[in-house]
Chain A
Amino acid sequence: MRTDRFKLLLGATAMLALAGCASGEEWKTWRGHPTHFASGEHLFFSTRNAEGTAPRVTREDITLARDQGWWGKPITVGQEQILER
């Protein structure tokens, strides 16, 4: 009886694991689009703003977008060349 329950539990666990994993095709898509939902914040922004509704943009969204859209260290002047502490 105990063995049967254990087998049942193992089977259910395996099914849950399979349901939670991406298929090979899904992984291929994911690898082809590495920046999609690149961060948890992007995921939350996307789920908060459903398609067809006016998006709500917070200050944190803007900061994150700016940080994550980094295109490289700019060539610019350092503040220490203009001001002294």
Chain B
Amino acid sequence: MALAVQPDQDMDTQRIAPRMAPTLRRGLAAVSLVALALAGSPATAAPSDASVLPPEQHTSDKAKRLATTYGDAMRELSARVYHCMPWVEVKKNGIGFYKPKHLEGDARFLSINFYIDQQPSPEFAAFTIEERASRMFSRYVGPMLRRMARPQALLADGSLDGFTVILEWLKQAATAPGGRPIHETIAVFVDRGTTADFVAGRLPSRELAGRARVLGWDGATALGAIRVNSWDDDFVSTYKVSNYQLAPGVSCP
């Protein structure tokens, strides 16, 4: 390998310097680019687009139209959750105008599906599945409906049938080397009229669960419809991750 500068008695620094300048500039530029890449640019602060299902991947014209019309609202929802609820992770294609499988016809619900990153505690594990689901419902469903139904045009759009909130959390960590953790999941379906009543304050939180359909899963095992209770819970608006620093230009109400 050749040395960058070979020592020579006849070295003419006046002649070498202009040739070295572009090399130095290129080197400095490369170092700067590497440093920027390693430090993380503002663009990397944005959530991955992978959390929003693109319009063309919806399978009906109705869903494609909804996804196209409210694409900005979906990306805004994704960004809000990403920055303001950093303890949850929206799944790939977790936001979209999906059709609930248990419904007939082309019913389209604005849906969000996320994993809640929390460690299982003995106290939480001691509850029944209905009690755990009630706590998760009260903690997340109301706040998510308020965020999802924020665009007035969306809530008034007759082609939207409702909202889905899918919540998943760790039930049990792997108990043996090579074992797999088990998650619990609830899927909550709320029709558009009920959501409109709720966000307008006409339906109290304690009555929301009674107007929703809630399906549960223990790991991959379907539990069917489960009965849950609901109440006001301000966890989402008050919980702060310790020492969490919001990305520049982002604010969370």
Q: A85: which of B53, B180, B185, B217 is its contact (CB, 8 Å)?
A: B53
Q: How far is the CA of A20 from the CA of B173 in the complex (A)?
A: 41
Interface string of B224-250 (1 = CB under 8 A from A): 000000000000000001111111000
For residue B153, CB closer than 8 A to chain A, the reply is no
Q: Please determine whether B117 and A72 come into contact, CB atoms closer than 8 angstroms.
A: no
Q: Please determine whether B245 and A84 come into contact, CB atoms closer than 8 angstroms.
A: no
Stretch at the interface among A21-29, A30-38, A49-57: A49-57
Q: B243: which of A5, A55, A78 is its contact (CB, 8 Å)?
A: A55
For residue A75, CB closer than 8 A to chain B, the reply is yes
Q: Please determine whether A85 and B58 come into contact, CB atoms closer than 8 angstroms.
A: yes
Q: How far is the CA of A74 from the CA of B180 in the complex (A)?
A: 5
Q: Please determine whether A62 and B166 come into contact, CB atoms closer than 8 angstroms.
A: no
Interface string of A39-76 (1 = CB under 8 A from B): 01000100000000011111110110010000111111
> Nearest-CB distance from B110 to chain A (Å)?
11
Residues of chain B at interface, number, CB under 8 A: 55
Q: Please determine whether A74 and B101 come into contact, CB atoms closer than 8 angstroms.
A: no
Q: Please determine whether A59 and B98 come into contact, CB atoms closer than 8 angstroms.
A: no
For residue A16, CB closer than 8 A to chain B, the reply is no
| Closest partner residue, chain B, to A80 (CB atom) | B101
The CB with the most chain B CB atoms within 10 A, among A2, A60, A62, is that of: A62
For residue A82, CB closer than 8 A to chain B, the reply is yes
Q: B164: which of A55, A66, A74, A83 is its contact (CB, 8 Å)?
A: A83
Q: Please determine whether B101 and A83 come into contact, CB atoms closer than 8 angstroms.
A: yes
Q: A75: which of B7, B53, B181 is its contact (CB, 8 Å)?
A: B181
Q: A77: which of B45, B117, B180, B185 is its contact (CB, 8 Å)?
A: B185
Known contacts being A82-B215, A85-B53, is A75 close to B101, with CB within 8 Å?
no
Residues of chain A at interface, number, CB under 8 A: 30
| Closest partner residue, chain A, to B217 (CB atom) | A77
> Nearest-CB distance from B215 to chain A (Å)?
7
> Nearest-CB distance from B178 to chain A (Å)?
8
The CB with the most chain B CB atoms within 10 A, among A62, A83, A84, is that of: A83
- Provide the residues of chain B in CB contact with A2, threshold 8 Å: 7
- Provide the residues of chain A in CB contact with B94, threshold 8 Å: 79
Q: How far is the CA of A10 from the CA of B245 in the complex (A)?
A: 48
Q: How far is the CA of A62 from the CA of B244 in the complex (A)?
A: 9
Q: How far is the CA of A58 from the CA of B100 in the complex (A)?
A: 35
Q: Please determine whether A79 and B180 come into contact, CB atoms closer than 8 angstroms.
A: no
For residue B220, CB closer than 8 A to chain A, the reply is yes
Query: Which 5 residue pairs across A and B have the least CB separation, nearest first?
Result: A83-B98, A76-B183, A75-B219, A77-B217, A84-B99
Give me 11 other A-B pairs in contact (C-beta within 8 A), A59-B82, A60-B45, A66-B89 excluded. Answer: A5-B7, A54-B243, A57-B243, A58-B45, A59-B83, A75-B220, A76-B219, A82-B215, A83-B96, A83-B99, A85-B58
